[in-house]
């Protein structure tokens, strides 16, 4: 069947159209995305601004039309951190659903981590052993670990690259303060994650980690999804130092950095380095599947 998965993230709205069936991998057929930057459209009261809501409604209406034009019989729509944490989340969801006719749902941070873990498990299989899965989004950092398809632990922290850029770097606070904040927040959760043991395979997903890996020498996306890509801690630490003195224009010119996310790379690199340090990881393997695939796989399992 042809299905659409509509992901309203803190940075981007992304519709992925796939041909899906039980017992096989979903095959991408079409992609339609737009930078929404909802994490940066939160006002002082932590409400999504009127401009942010208007952009979101417009995009979702267009995404539904796009999915229908491509022949989708089902559209699974969900929103993550920026909408989830907004004080006007219920109003935002109501306005989107009334305008679009969809049933946009808000995922909890734990569900984000759990479903991303499911996608990674299906990608690597049982031979991967105990998986540790890390995902830096625009609004939050998700971590999950376990040996089965359902993780032993799934947690979410407000350490997304967009959120930290807005609240710390754009606000003029010192990078050293941000570094301490990030590390202390992750450290509070690290013990619970590691209580079940170390990782046989440590994996990172989604755009921020993919961009950092590409900057540090991983293969370009044009080489295909089956090429093994890793982010090495020694390369990342060098990059973090380089980013301290780089201008936004210089960051935007780096390989694998999209213009709409270039301003978030510094914060994302700080979170990635802290994660690797605190979990004693020398490298993270990049998985091409993430939350969208996890949502789709769980839906197919339930049919």
Specify if 301 maps to a domain.
no
Judge whether residue 40 has pLDDT over 90: no
Residue 226: the pLDDT is 94
pLDDT in tens, 236-289: 999 999 999 999 899 999 999 988 889 999 999 999 999 999 999 999 999 999
Co-location of 101 and 75 in the same domain: yes
Average pLDDT, the chain: 95
- DSSP structure string for the chain: -EEEEEEE-SSEEEEEEEE--TTS--EEEEEEEEE--GGGSB-TTS-B-HHHHHHHHHHHHHHHHHHHHTT-SEEEEEE-HHHHH-TTHHHHHHHHHHHH----EEPPHHHHHHHHHHHHHHHH-GGG-SEEEEEE-SS-EEEEEESSSS-SEEEEES--HHHHIIIIITTT--HHHHHHHHHHHHHHHHHHHHTT---SEEEEEHHHHHHHHHHTTPPPGGG-TTS--EEEHHHHHHHHHHHTT--HHHHHTSTT--GGGGGGHHHHHHHHHHHHHHTT-SEEEEES--HHHHHHHHHHHT-
Co-location of 228 and 124 in the same domain: yes
Specify if 297 maps to a domain.
no
Specify if 299 maps to a domain.
no
Residue 283: the pLDDT is 98
Residue 101: the pLDDT is 97
Domain end marker among 106, 130, 148: 106
Q: What is the pTM of this model?
A: 0.96
Specify if 298 maps to a domain.
no
Domain end marker among 106, 133, 161: 106
Domain count, the chain: 2
pLDDT in tens, 184-214: 999 999 999 999 999 999 999 999 999 999 9
Q: Which domain holds residue 229?
A: 109-291
Co-location of 135 and 163 in the same domain: yes
CATH number for the domain spanning 71: value is 3.30.420.40
Percent of the chain, pLDDT > 90? 92
């Amino acid at each position: 069947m042809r299905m659409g998965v509509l992901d309203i993230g803190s940075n981007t709205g992304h519709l992925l159209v796939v041909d899906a069936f039980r017992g096989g991998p979903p095959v991408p057929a079409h992609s339609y995305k737009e930078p929404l930057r909802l994490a940066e459209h939160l006002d002082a009261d932590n409400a999504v601004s009127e401009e942010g809501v208007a952009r979101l409604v417009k995009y979702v209406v267009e995404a539904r039309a796009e999915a229908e034009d491509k022949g989708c019989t089902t559209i699974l729509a969900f929103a993550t951190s920026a909408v989830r944490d907004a004080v006007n989340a219920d109003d935002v969801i109501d306005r989107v659903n009334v305008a679009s006719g969809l049933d946009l749902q808000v995922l909890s941070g734990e569900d984000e981590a759990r479903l991303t873990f499911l996608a990674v498990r299906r990608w690597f299989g049982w031979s991967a052993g105990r998986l540790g899965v890390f995902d830096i989004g625009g609004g939050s950092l998700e971590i999950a670990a376990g040996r089965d398809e359902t993780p032993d632990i799934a947690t979410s922290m407000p350490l997304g690259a967009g959120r930290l850029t807005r609240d710390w770097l754009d606000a003029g606070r010192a990078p050293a303060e941000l570094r301490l904040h990030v590390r202390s927040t992750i450290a509070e959760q690290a013990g619970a994650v590691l209580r079940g043991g170390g990782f046989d395979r440590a994996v990172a997903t989604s755009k921020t980690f993919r961009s950092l890996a590409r900057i540090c020498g991983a293969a370009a996306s044009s080489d295909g999804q089956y090429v093994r890509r890793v982010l090495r801690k020694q390369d990342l630490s060098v990059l973090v130092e380089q980013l301290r003195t780089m201008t936004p224009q210089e960051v935007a010119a780096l390989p694998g950095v999209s213009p709409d996310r270039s301003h978030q790379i510094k914060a994302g690199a700080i979170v990635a380095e802290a994660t690797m340090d605190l979990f004693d990881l020398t490298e993270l393997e990049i998985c091409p599947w993430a939350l969208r695939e996890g949502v789709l796989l769980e839906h197919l399992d339930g049919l």
